[in-house]
């Protein structure tokens, strides 16, 4: 089942409300009441579960995947900032950057992550039966959310052990991201899934080079890595939905059982 409620992110948007979503497997209510579950945090929560809430009318369909596979995991996701003043770009960028299409963007990614870790995660851990430790705390997203997921597992490695970065916007500040990968304090069991669509490579100059460089840097740091170029892949929720089996098998391997954990 999915619960939906309103939250605020005061440090970013004051008292303006946005939706939060949580997916709970059927066993959460019908199984052992002492069982606790890993948690996957996801960006762009409005696009994760419901077509009716999705920006372009198509969601990832995560609920259908979780139910059909019986994956015993909680998913917690928060809607992005929809401000026309590039609100989403600002919240989902760890860095300041300039771009011909968007102008100068001030990145508030650190403020976003601080709220997610110290407010949202704490609320989820208090209200639900989670496995709150690092080993069972994951993060995922696409596009700017993919960049944030990669940033989160590197910069906040003490909180997140695994990340899925689908079509990450590594073009925002590739040199700064490269520096972070080289210098991040990482535990040796860090797992990352990263992909990029075949047809996306043409959207930004040098994307193939940026992707190769980031993958190489991650391997140099001995991160347990799965990287893919998605055949025929494009930049949309319908394509990301098709990648769910790939990234979920990565972030759940090998320790997350189909029966939950106590």
- pLDDT at 202 (0 to 100): 83
How high is the mean pLDDT of the chain?
94
pLDDT band per the 50, 70, 90 thresholds, residue 212: very high
217 falls within a domain: yes
Percent of the chain predicted with pLDDT > 70: 97
Beta bridge partners of 142: 166
Beta carbons within 8 Å of 47's beta carbon, 6+ residues apart? 53, 54, 55, 59, 60, 237
Residue 214 has what DSSP assignment?
H
Confidence of residue 255 (pLDDT cuts 50, 70, 90): low
Minimum mean pLDDT among 17-21, 39-43, 103-107, 242-246: which range?
103-107
Residue 11 pLDDT greater than 60, yes or no: yes
**CB distance 45 to 20 below 8 Å:** yes
The model's confidence at residue 258, banded by pLDDT at 50, 70 and 90, is: very low
Over range 239-255, report the average pLDDT: 93
Instruction: Identify whether 120 is part of a domain.
Output: yes
pLDDT level of residue 159 (50, 70, 90 thresholds): very high
pLDDT given at position 74: 98
DSSP state, residue 234: -
Q: How far is CA 47 from CA 77, 97, 177, 214, 242, in A?
A: 9, 25, 26, 26, 14
Residue 239 counted as domain residue: yes
User: What pTM does this model have?
Assistant: 0.94
Tell me if 260 is assigned to some domain.
no
Which pLDDT belongs to residue 201?
82
The domain containing residue 52 runs over which residues? 2-251
pLDDT digits (tens, 9 = 90+) for 52-71: 999 999 999 999 999 999 99
- In CATH, what number is assigned to the domain containing residue 39? 3.40.50.1820
Q: Is pLDDT at 166 greater than 60 in this prediction?
A: yes
Q: Flag whether 168 is in a domain.
A: yes
* Rounded Cα–Cα distance for residues 78 and 187 (Å): 27
- Tell me if 258 is assigned to some domain: no
> 247 is written with which tokens?
């990234």
The pair of structure tokens assigned to 188 is 């040796």
The stretch 124-141 carries a mean pLDDT of 97
261 found inside a domain: no
Residue 259 in any domain: the answer is no
pLDDT confidence band for 244 (50 / 70 / 90): very high
Please tell me the predicted confidence (pLDDT) of residue 100. Answer: 87
Count of structural domains within the chain: 1
Please give the average per-residue pLDDT across 119-137, as a whole number.
97
């Amino acid at each position: 089942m999915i619960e939906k409620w309103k939250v605020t992110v005061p440090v970013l948007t004051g008292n303006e409300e946005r939706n939060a979503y949580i997916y709970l497997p059927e066993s959460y209510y019908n199984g052992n009441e002492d069982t606790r579950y890993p948690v996957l945090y996801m960006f762009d929560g409005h696009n994760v579960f419901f077509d009716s809430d999705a920006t372009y009318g198509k969601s990832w369909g995560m609920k259908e995947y979780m139910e059909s596979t019986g994956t015993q995991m909680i998913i917690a996701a928060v809607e992005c900032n929809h401000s026309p003043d590039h609100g989403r770009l600002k919240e989902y960028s760890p860095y300041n950057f300039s771009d011909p299409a968007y102008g100068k963007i001030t990145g508030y990614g650190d403020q976003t992550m601080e709220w997610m870790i110290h407010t949202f995660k704490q609320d989820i851990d208090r209200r639900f039966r989670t496995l709150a430790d690092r080993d069972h705390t994951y993060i995922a997203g696409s596009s700017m959310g993919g960049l944030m997921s990669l940033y989160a597992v590197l910069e906040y490695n003490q909180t997140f052990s695994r990340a899925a970065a689908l079509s990450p916007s590594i073009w925002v500040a590739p040199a700064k991201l490269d520096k972070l990968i080289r210098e991040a304090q990482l535990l040796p069991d860090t797992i990352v899934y990263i992909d990029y669509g075949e047809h996306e490579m043409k959207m930004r100059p040098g994307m193939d080079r940026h992707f190769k460089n980031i993958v190489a840097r991650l391997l140099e740091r001995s991160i347990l890595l799965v990287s893919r170029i998605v055949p025929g892949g494009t930049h949309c929720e319908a394509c990301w939905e098709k990648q769910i089996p790939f990234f979920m098998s990565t972030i759940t391997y090998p320790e997350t059982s189909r029966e939950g954990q106590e």
